Amino acid sequence: MKQNILAIFLLCLTVCAENSNAQSELPKADANQKWWKEAIVYQIYPRSFKDSNGDGVGDLKGIISELDYIKSLGVDVVWLNPIYQSPNFDNGYDVSDYRKILPEFGTMADFDSLLNGMHRRGIKLVMDLVVNHSSNEHEWFQKSQSSRNNPYRNYYHWWNAENGKPPYRYSLFDINHDAWKYDTLTNAYYLHYFSDKQPDLNWENPKVRNEVYNIMRFWADKGIDGFRLDAFQFVAKDTTFPMFPKGFEKDFTRYYAMQGNIHGYLQQMNQQIFSKYDVMSVAEGAGNTFEDAHNLVDSNRHELNIAYAFNGVDLAKPNGYSLLQFKSIFSQWDSAFEHSGWLAVFLANHDQARMVSRFGNDLPQFRTHSSQMLSTFLLTMRGTPFYYNGDELGMTNPKFSSIHDYRDQVILDEYKHTQMTGGNVQALLKNLSFGARDNGRTPFQWDSSRNAGFTTGMSWIGINANYKTVNVAVEENDPNSCLHYFRKLVQLRKNNPTLVYGKYTLLDKANPQVYAYLREDAAGKFLILLNFSAKDAVFSSPTLSAKAKVVLANYVKTPITPITITLKNKMPLRPYEAMVIRL
Ligand code: GLC
Ligand code: CA
């Protein structure tokens, strides 16, 4: 294999070396260096990671038992999806007590030993904070709902029915997409941007904000290292509830995101919490424009650290996506954040189907190379990689074919709605098997034993049929596996701050198959070549010719001894081939 690659490089052999005098203008190490910029965030979906007691549901003790595995990846921050007390309508994104652990997941003592075990290994913990809404079973809501005069009434948004129907608001999760739910008890409607079991908190009420800061203090005092603020771009509202134009729901984030005094609230939160603890902060969603995103994270504003925007991850559609568009989105975001602010870089999370199935190719012959190629992208871009558990194995969508395979209530409601309104159920199922959130929530694949080593009981959701070939144990034994490759990528990024802070320059822009870019600073220069297609491709760049070393490549057998090559103008790439080349 090594021979092969050398032969290909030799084809491009030339002796000219590039002379660059631009080095002095490149970014240098300075006060802008932060641990959360250098971190690699590994997202763990607790329900599906590891079950310790055979009830079929992943739990904290399960995560504790695999801390050495997490450490072995080299990642240094774990983001945990919600583990708080919850009726679990939306898998923990409906919190009924922010200071308690969901019994299914364990106890507070388990949490403390998890945090301790992480810190002992040099791993930081970021918690999910779900405060755009609570559960309808939270005691605040129960009190708020009980009477119009209850002191908690203004913790949520109510519209008295004698004033007529409230102006239409779109709900992302409601079966009828209606975000106002009528409640007979007080003859009023309450607002829920998500499901009716997730009433929106009234951030305009200073008492609500103080409650949230106290919750944040509770966790920060325990020693956690950061917060991921769920759906936060939606928290502020114009509580006069003006009428929105007809059809606004097609573009609802224009009307819902970054409204009212959201930046005032974030500055207050920063002053109360972020400035007092060494914690990182990231909010889900970054509004509608670069300006919105900058307003969240530019350091002189004292709000958040990292902007998490969806423009890239939203691109994949069942019939594919355009690499040209993909390159253009990531390049535009990079250049918009070249001088200030900081971004998250990600292609998957618990709300998305699997990265390799959406952006790569999950056919057996391409799965490994294409997942490795995508991981190469994530770990060589500027910005903090948010890497989703299981992607380091190249886990794929499970290809569920029946609605009974799904557990996500939002999907089940959408299905019912489609049935009731005479919609095309088969088409919906097809779309779901490509894009549904449950695709990314099937159990983590540990080994080839029953239930992929995830549980000794009945898993809460089906296990991917490919678990006998795609799992940790098998991949540990294969030096060319996704897992080993991921570890090498992590080390490469850790050892080369150039990949964190260095300037990014897109090359061969119009190439529809290849994504190629430079990362460079005063300390060094890397060329990253990624063939995003299932066909042979050719990278070409008329200006690039240099002596170079391949430091990581997914077609080369491990361990890599750096291969010196001389690049000129053209470089052939095999299907989903990825290379990191030091120039
Ligand atoms: C966020 C979460 C998602 C959840 C929703 C409502 O988008 O990531 O999982 O369903 O908020 O809390
Ligand atoms: Ca369990």
506-520 pLDDT, tens digit per residue, is 999 999 999 999 999
pLDDT band at 549 (very low <50, low <70, confident <90, very high): confident
**What is the domain count for the chain?**
3
Q: What percentage of the chain carries pLDDT values higher than 90? A: 90
Residues 173 and 283 grouped into a single domain: no
Domain contains 572: yes
Domain contains 481: yes
Q: Are 37 and 431 in contact (CB under 8 A)?
A: no
Domain contains 196: no
Mean pLDDT of 322-342: 98
89 lines ligand 1 (CB under 6 A): no
Distance CA 526, CA 517 (A): 8
Residues 108 and 144 grouped into a single domain: no
Three-state SS for 539? strand
- Buried residues in 465-489 as b, exposed as e (16+ CB within 10 A): ebbeebbbebbeeeebbbbbbbbbb
Residues 185 and 320 grouped into a single domain: no
Residues 22 and 54 grouped into a single domain: no
pLDDT at 14: 26
284 lines ligand 1 (CB under 6 A): yes
pLDDT at 26: 59
Mean pLDDT of 129-145: 98
Distance CA 440, CA 358 (A): 11
pLDDT at 2: 35
Asked if residue 470 has pLDDT above 60, the reply is yes
pLDDT band at 19 (very low <50, low <70, confident <90, very high): very low
Ligand 2 centroid – CA 103 distance (Å): 9
Ligand 2 centroid – CA 54 distance (Å): 6
Is the pTM value of this prediction over 0.75?
yes
Closest residue by Cα to atom 4, ligand 1, is 93
Ligand nearest to the CA of 440: 1
* Residue from 194, 410, 412 whose mutation best tests the ligand 1 pocket (most atoms within 8 A of CB): 194
Residues 238 and 382 grouped into a single domain: yes
Distance CA 270, CA 163 (A): 38
Give tens-digit pLDDT for 378-417: 999 999 999 999 999 999 999 999 999 999 999 999 999 9
36 CB burial (10 A radius; 0-12, 13-18, 19+): buried
Residues 159 and 108 grouped into a single domain: no
Residues 464 and 372 grouped into a single domain: yes
Distance CA 203, CA 461 (A): 35
Domain contains 199: no
201 lines ligand 1 (CB under 6 A): no
Q: Which entry of 90, 284, 303, 408 is annotated as an active-site residue?
A: 284
Domain contains 233: yes
Q: What is the CATH number of the domain that holds 123?
A: 3.20.20.80
Residues 329 and 387 grouped into a single domain: yes
Give tens-digit pLDDT for 53-89: 999 999 999 999 999 999 999 999 999 999 999 999 9
Q: Which entry of 200, 230, 408, 414 is annotated as an active-site residue?
A: 230
Domain contains 494: no
Last residue within a domain, chosen from 126, 160, 191: 191
Residues 546 and 522 grouped into a single domain: yes
Residues 180 and 276 grouped into a single domain: no
Residue 444 domain boundaries: 35-134+206-488
Give tens-digit pLDDT for 119-134: 999 999 999 999 999 9
Considering Cα of 138, then 409, then 345, then 469, what sign does the dihedral take? positive
Last residue within a domain, chosen from 488, 523, 538: 488
Residue 440 phi/psi, 5° resolution? -95, 5
Across the chain, mean pLDDT equals: 93
pLDDT at 563: 61
Residues 81 and 224 grouped into a single domain: yes
Domain contains 498: no
Q: Are 195 and 251 in contact (CB under 8 A)?
A: no
Whether 137 is catalytic is no
230 lines ligand 1 (CB under 6 A): yes
**Residue holding tokens 């583990």?**
83
Residues 109 and 78 grouped into a single domain: yes
Atom of ligand 1 nearest to the CA of 410: 10
Ligand nearest to the CA of 79: 1
Domain contains 565: yes
Structure tokens at 184: 């007979």
